Chain A
Amino acid sequence: MTAPAEARRLRFLPSGTSIHKLSAVLTLCLLITVFSFTSSAFFSVNNGLTVLLQTSVIGLLAIGMTLVIITGGIDLSVGSVLALSGVVAGLFIKAGLPVVPAMGVGVLAGAACGFVNGFVITKMRITPFVATLGMMLIARGIALQLTGAAPISRLGEAFGELGNGTLFRIVDMQANGFPKVIFPGIPYPVILLAVIAILGAYLLQKRQFGRHIFSAGSNEEAARLSGVNVDRTKIWTYALSGGLAGLSGMVLMSRLVTVQPNEGVMYELDAIAASVIGGASLMGGVGSISGSMIGAFIIGVLRNGLNMAGTSAFVQMIIIGVVVIGAVYIDQIRNKT
């Protein structure tokens, strides 16, 4: 018994996911080092916080996307759902609802879209790709229809608080009467991302629901035969992804203090890229929140660093595309040897 076991062992290198995560962290460190040399302004507290802020929206989407990808699915609708949630929140604020409950309704609208995705996928047996592609068009269409494709502005200062507020901002009033910013403060979106990421990792690693997400994605039939309620697990996973898309919609629209019904186009692809760079397998059963966060920051740092180095947006797209393919290719080589 030991002989074949050992032979089999040799074909796999030790613990795939941890190596992948390590290489992703190294990549991230390498990027930061390289960009620190190319631009003197890159390695600073201010720019660090900017990267964090810029990454928070993709990061939130990537958390939901990772859960969905681990079940063996995909959610192409998050970018559109983000916009629709913003529109719903904006319309409720315009109708007189206070900001916090209106944002709550926006997040729920996102979760409802995700719930519909899950229902269509499990009960109508439509593949996730097609179901969420349909939702991508439906949600975008509703968002544009509700607003007549026009932005909703004048939503009040309170609406901008989530996206623009900071914690621990230290401002020193100078003798000449001008304020001097000693520490710009941690932006609320960054804190939100950290909290949601920790909750997401807890859900995935420590709770039965998370274990069922892995079981369903690893071997759906086995999970079903073992008494896992696969349909319910998937529906809730898509609902969570939709809800997180709604939440990231709140963050994004709040940062702009305006609801833009055509925001978030192609964000789903960034979220998928972040998950995949972070080691999630589109075949299901593999992935982690921490990995996806590293993936999101690799994309964020790349964007920011290339911007600072003066690289054009078009070249950035090319580079990120190459990084995604490279990350998956390296993963495959490692799993084959």
Chain B
Amino acid sequence: MLDVSSSNTPLVQMVDIYKQFGGIHAVEGVSTDLYPGEVMGVLGHNGAGKSCLMRMLSGAMTPTRGDIFVNGQKAALKSPQDARGFGIETIYQTLALANHLDAPANLFMGRELKTRFGNLDEKRMLAEATDALRQLNPNFKNLRDPVARLSGGQRQVIAIARAIYFQAKILIMDEPTAALGPSETAMVADLTKRLKNEGIGIFLISHDMEDVFELCDRVMVMNKGRNVGTFRIGDVNKDDILSLIIKGTLPDDWEPRGANKESSK
């Protein structure tokens, strides 16, 4: 599974990661990797440990045991700031927006732009935010409104813009389309493809099989804190994945299906 050839170092390597909360083993011995320009689907039940694993990569949690390598270098991700230092950005399922603040303030939260005198540079933040948000959604208005007043789609756009504005190299998307309508979902799918073409590595947590088969190059399935399998998307179909998610094993008669064989659809 770890094919570390000299020409192709993985962007991220997580090796034998454990996370315990008291007596509960949320993540047990999970290893995975991610290559530039690749979308890795992360699947599993609620509570299977996928969000927990991703939170360790985004620095919101520290592993009990195990190592994380970024570009082959060992990375100690003790805080979200550390992770951002390595170019790891996260779009959280909850969006992680401050409802009382406006779009620019949210976009630059924790990384505010400052003038020479150390004051907040509201003008530049507004200009940059306008650019970043209009790129994703040309109709984006009301930038100065508190984000509590914006629609779900607009809020999602802010969360996404926040991740890509700062030149993410590794992007973690935690159910980015769960709260969106069809047109916005399509927008996120297009964006995912665009970022992938730019060489960004993406971990995509999703429950939506259509999305997974459309966007992902590989999938890893987690069950009860373990990685029960990582596959190229062409080697599995929906039933195989559901079997992994539910039972933790592949169907008994499974063999790699190959990209040219009948796929799930």
Contacts and interface: CB of A to CB of B under 8 A. Distances in A.
A1 B183 contact: yes
A285 B150 contact: no
Given A1-B139, A1-B184, A5-B151, A207 B96 contact: no
Interface in A194-215: 206-208, 211-212, 214-215
A217 B151 CA distance: 22
Contact of B100 (A2, A214, A227): A214
A206 B119 contact: yes
A1 B153 contact: yes
Contacts of B120: 206-208, 211
Contact of A219 (B98, B142, B162): B98
B92 interface: yes
Given A1-B183, A225-B60, A218 B98 contact: yes
B151 A227 contact: no
A5 B103 CA distance: 15
A215 B149 CA distance: 16
Given A211-B105, A227-B111, A222 B97 contact: yes
Nearest to A286: B100
A148 B101 CA distance: 49
Nearest to B83: A227
A224 interface: yes
Interface in A1-42: 1-2, 4-5, 8-9, 12
B172 to A, nearest CB: 11
- Secondary structure class of chain B's binding surface, majority of residues: loop
B81 interface: yes
Interface in A215-234: 215, 217-219, 221-228
A228 B100 contact: no
B96 A219 contact: yes
Please classify how large the interface on chain A is, using the bins under 10, 10 to 19, 20 to 34, 35 or more.
20 to 34
Contacts of B95: 222
Interface string A227-251: 1100000000000000000000000
Contacts of A222: 92, 94-98, 109
A208 B119 CA distance: 7
B118 interface: yes
Interface in B16-67: 58, 60
Contacts of A1: 137, 139, 151, 153-154, 181, 183-184
A218 B119 contact: no
B145 to A, nearest CB: 8
Interface in B105-132: 105, 109-112, 114, 118-120
Interface of B: 58, 60, 79-81, 84, 90, 92, 94-101, 105, 109-112, 114, 118-120, 137, 139, 142, 149-154, 162, 181, 183-184
18 contacts: A1-B137, A1-B153, A4-B152, A8-B151, A206-B119, A208-B120, A211-B120, A214-B100, A215-B98, A215-B109, A219-B99, A222-B92, A222-B97, A223-B109, A223-B110, A225-B90, A226-B110, A227-B79
Interface of A: 1-2, 4-5, 8-9, 12, 206-208, 211-212, 214-215, 217-219, 221-228, 285-286
Given A218-B98, A285-B100, 7 more contacts: A1-B137, A8-B151, A214-B98, A215-B105, A218-B99, A222-B95, A224-B60
